[in-house]
């Protein structure tokens, strides 16, 4: 697997750092696209940088973290080929892969604590896309043109 992208704003910084350490301990390569401190910043800058890399085909998967996850989801899903899923529990995380072939996992640091986030990331990385009837739907999503 190529390096997993990860990015956050200031509200997601602490969780991002914990997830980076967790992934690196599991020998999963991580590329951190920022932010690099708890200083206030604008989440769209980081969400766009990560989603753009996926949309351009330069990376396959990434994780975005902000306080609620909503803003990151909105930004990331504006780019063609990005299927960002805002997840708050293990079941929905697995479904985002099985049914939607999500390529960006979005977490809200205000709603998902580190221990659960680690389990969610592992489940997201390990869960395969089921294809079948879901493939048709993913293709329909990817055909929607951004105006």
* Residues 105, 111, 112, 113, Cα dihedral to 10°: 150
Catalytic residue IDs? 66, 99
CA distance 127 to 90: 11
Residue 115: which residues within 8 A CB-CB, separation 6 or more?
A: none
CA distance 136 to 1: 25
Give Cα 109 distance to the centre of its chain.
13
* Contact assessment for residue 5 and residue 53, using Cβ atoms and an 8 Å cutoff: yes
């Amino acid at each position: 697997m190529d390096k997993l992208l990860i990015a956050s704003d200031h509200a997601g910084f602490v969780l991002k750092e914990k997830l980076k350490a967790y992934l690196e301990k599991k020998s999963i390569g991580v590329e951190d696209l920022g932010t690099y401190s708890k200083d206030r910043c604008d989440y769209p800058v980081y969400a766009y940088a990560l989603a753009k890399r996926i949309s351009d085909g330069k990376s396959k998967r990434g994780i975005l973290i902000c306080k609620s996850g909503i803003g990151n989801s909105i930004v990331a899903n504006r780019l063609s080929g990005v299927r960002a899923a805002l997840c708050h529990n293990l079941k929905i995380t697995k479904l985002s892969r099985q049914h939607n072939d999500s390529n960006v996992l979005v977490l809200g640091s205000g709603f998902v604590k580190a221990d659960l986030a680690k389990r969610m990331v592992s489940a997201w990385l390990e869960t395969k896309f089921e294809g079948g009837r879901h493939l048709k739907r993913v293709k329909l999503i990817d055909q929607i043109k951004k105006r």
